[in-house]
Structure 1
Amino acid sequence: MPCREQTQAVYPFRDFNMKVFITIAFAAAAAATDLLIPLYQFPANNGQVWSPIEQALTDNPNLNAKIIINPNNGPGNGIDDPQYVAGTQALGSHPNAQMVGYVHTSTDFGQTRCNVPYSQIEADIRTWSTWVSRGIPIQGIFIDEAPTNTANNCVEYMRNLTDLIRNDPDILFPQRLVIFNPGGTGTLQPYYDLNPTYIVSLETCFVVPERAGGEYDQCDPAFPNWERYDHDGYGSSIDNVLFPNIGQVNAPRTAVLVHGFHDTNGPSANLQATEEVLRNMIRNVVQRRIGATFFNTAGYHQFSDGPASIQVVARLLSEANAGSL
């Protein structure tokens, strides 16, 4: 699913019969999984609306959070907005938070990838870099509507963007993080070969379409063919949909984002949206060595709604990471 504010579509995911069995020894060796937050909420009241995220960072100091900042489908004039300055400075004061700036590659909400002129994305990336020189610690770039195949010269396009972010001496991001978001599986190995920090290779919804909330939870009933997350049991969406496409070896550079955690993902597994179910889902993500994850109830603009509030998700992910070491 593209993370642009104007679209609510969830890309469908193809089901696979192949089962990947994860051994207990493999699970025990799991590395820590980061929290990846698509923060498209306006930082009203001098950033105070972001205080639940700040509290989650404070309460879980061993949890790393990559936070996507998106004023206007890109940097817009956010650096000149005192609300964004206050909000991002507050987030940046947390040592376990790394903010990344948003850009996108598509002019038609993901129907065609890599058709935004390269010079336009380069300009946005350089604008994000100016935030650093003005005291906002942007650490890299999140590239939305990234390609799912090699059409439209996308490999070269993404290689050039990655090289710009990583190697241009005028780019000031201290950590030079690079995150691709194709929103789903496809021909992704050429993009893993570019060695990004993460590729969001599975982004989907938990809730059944008939109980989805559209804009509220990013699970639009008008596009009902999403992979209902773990509808065949805990870990099944990673084992049956993700790994057969990307390979288990790419798990540490992969992100899994799950929206619409409310009601049920029935009828097969018929899991209910409770804290215990969320705990088991997050534990299974960590056991499979997935690099980053995010579960939310209410889309990109509200992080306090339960059962998957940011505080609960951060706590459960921190606990799962501690249990995997």
Structure 2
Amino acid sequence: MMKPILLPILAATAAATDLLLPLYQYPANNGGAWSPIEQAMTANPSLTFKVIINPNNGPGGPGQGIDDPQYAAGTKALASHPNAQLIGYVHTSTDWGATRCNVPWPSITADIKRWATWPARGVAIKGIFIDEAPVNTANDCVAYMRNLTTFLRTDPDVVRAFGTNKPIIVFNPGGVGALQPYYDLQPDLIVALETCFVVPARAGGGGTYDDQCSPAGGYERYDHDGVGSSLDNVVFPSVGRANAARTAVLVHGFHDFNGPAANMSATVGVLGQLIRGVVQRKIGATFFNTAGYHTFTDGPASIGAAASALRAANGA
């Protein structure tokens, strides 16, 4: 009798969703203001924290950034965690979004080269976050972003700074649009949706919260038609599900009520549902926060709660 041949069973390994944290908070108290982020890193060792460092809409000039003892202490402390990837901030717009890709080439490349000096000074910068990235092909933005991406991958000073590892490259258009030409440039992530949870009547106005969403801004109220609805109805019809792994979604203003269609209030339980919806759709990175990007301890979406929920969703 022939014995059956037992074939090995290969376990499918799903790529995890990372946490992409825009850290625009000053690291006061010798970097101690960032201790809640460090605590979240320690409590969730399987979760990758991609942390965007932004001293002054970029690396900052003399006396700022790594020259500031507070930033030197804070960034070194974050970088000491094995699940941390620090990413430096630059932007492409001189008028903050009205015209993309118009920062002069010498200016934006000088900022990138300043970031490239940080590893030699004790801070392991792993990549570059390009804010105010384009949402369409106007103003010859495809050529601008192609040249910028090539510069990051081939400039001798930048390559030397990142060593054998290619720099992580993140584009932040902040919204959907004609993004496929930018996905074709093969960045690691594109932030295809940066929006808020809170109802528009509260967004950006009053209270103690820094929502950063204006009532007149036309923002998508995140998942107001149910868990996953913003991805299914807004993001994927524009960028396509095939780009999910290189897509990031950032949500702030996670407080109060999110409209009658979803009938959801901002609770830790709802936070977990929304984050599971992101992970189930194989999105590459996400972040949920109750306030803006200058404080991370407000509940219910504190950095600890958001990181814990994301780690749990990845492991589900």
| 1:85 pairs with 2:72 | yes
Question: 2:3: which partner in 1?
Answer: none
Looking at structure 1, the residues matched to 95 and 265 of structure 2 have their Cα atoms a distance apart, in angstroms, of: 35
Question: 2:311: which partner in 1?
Answer: 318
Looking at structure 2, the residues matched to 218 and 125 of structure 1 have their Cα atoms a distance apart, in angstroms, of: 29
Looking at structure 2, the residues matched to 83 and 119 of structure 1 have their Cα atoms a distance apart, in angstroms, of: 28
* Aligned-partner SS, 1:234: coil
Match of 1:53 among 26, 37, 41: 37
What amino acid is aligned across from residue 109 of structure 1 in structure 2?
A: W
Equivalent residues of 1:31, 1:286 under 8 A apart = no
* Aligned-partner SS, 1:218: coil
What amino acid is aligned across from residue 56 of structure 2 in structure 1?
A: N
* Aligned-partner SS, 2:311: helix
Question: 2:98: which partner in 1?
Answer: 111
* Aligned-partner SS, 1:304: coil
In the TM superposition, residue 289 of structure 1 has moved relative to its aligned partner by 0.4
Match of 2:216 among 210, 218, 223: 223
In the TM superposition, residue 217 of structure 1 has moved relative to its aligned partner by 2.9
Question: 2:89: which partner in 1?
Answer: 102
Looking at structure 2, the residues matched to 44 and 148 of structure 1 have their Cα atoms a distance apart, in angstroms, of: 35
In the TM superposition, residue 210 of structure 1 has moved relative to its aligned partner by 1.4
Equivalent residues of 2:202, 2:215 under 8 A apart = no
What amino acid is aligned across from residue 173 of structure 1 in structure 2?
A: F
What amino acid is aligned across from residue 49 of structure 1 in structure 2?
A: A
Question: 2:268: which partner in 1?
Answer: 275
Residues 227 and 30 (structure 1 numbering): CA distance in 2 closer, same or farther, change over 3 Å? farther
Equivalent residues of 1:209, 1:224 under 8 A apart = no
| 1:240 pairs with 2:233 | yes
Match of 2:125 among 120, 138, 155: 138
What amino acid is aligned across from residue 155 of structure 2 in structure 1?
A: D
Aligned Cα root-mean-square deviation (Å): 1.3
Equivalent residues of 1:30, 1:286 under 8 A apart = no
Equivalent residues of 2:196, 2:213 under 8 A apart = no
Equivalent residues of 2:203, 2:215 under 8 A apart = no
Q: What are the superposed Cα offsets for residues 83-114 of structure 1, whole Å, 9 maximum, x if unpaired?
A: 00000000000010000100000011101000
Looking at structure 2, the residues matched to 263 and 217 of structure 1 have their Cα atoms a distance apart, in angstroms, of: 13
Question: 2:200: which partner in 1?
Answer: 209
Match of 1:251 among 244, 253, 259: 244
Question: 2:8: which partner in 1?
Answer: none
Looking at structure 2, the residues matched to 200 and 234 of structure 1 have their Cα atoms a distance apart, in angstroms, of: 19
Range that drifts further, 156-165 or 205-214: 205-214
Match of 1:177 among 168, 172, 188: 168
Question: 1:161: which partner in 2?
Answer: 148
Equivalent residues of 2:297, 2:303 under 8 A apart = yes
Range that drifts further, 60-69 or 170-179: 170-179
Equivalent residues of 2:255, 2:266 under 8 A apart = yes
Q: How many residues align?
A: 296
* Aligned-partner SS, 2:117: helix
Higher relative contact order (CA 8 A, sep 6+): 1
Q: What are the superposed Cα offsets for residues 201-225 of structure 1, whole Å, 9 maximum, x if unpaired?
A: 0111100011224483333344352
Considering only CA atoms, is the larger Rg found in Structure 1 or Structure 2? 2
In the TM superposition, residue 79 of structure 1 has moved relative to its aligned partner by 1.3
Looking at structure 1, the residues matched to 94 and 247 of structure 2 have their Cα atoms a distance apart, in angstroms, of: 25
Match of 1:38 among 16, 22, 32: 22
What amino acid is aligned across from residue 253 of structure 1 in structure 2?
A: R
Equivalent residues of 2:176, 2:235 under 8 A apart = yes
Looking at structure 2, the residues matched to 286 and 246 of structure 1 have their Cα atoms a distance apart, in angstroms, of: 17
What amino acid is aligned across from residue 34 of structure 2 in structure 1?
A: W
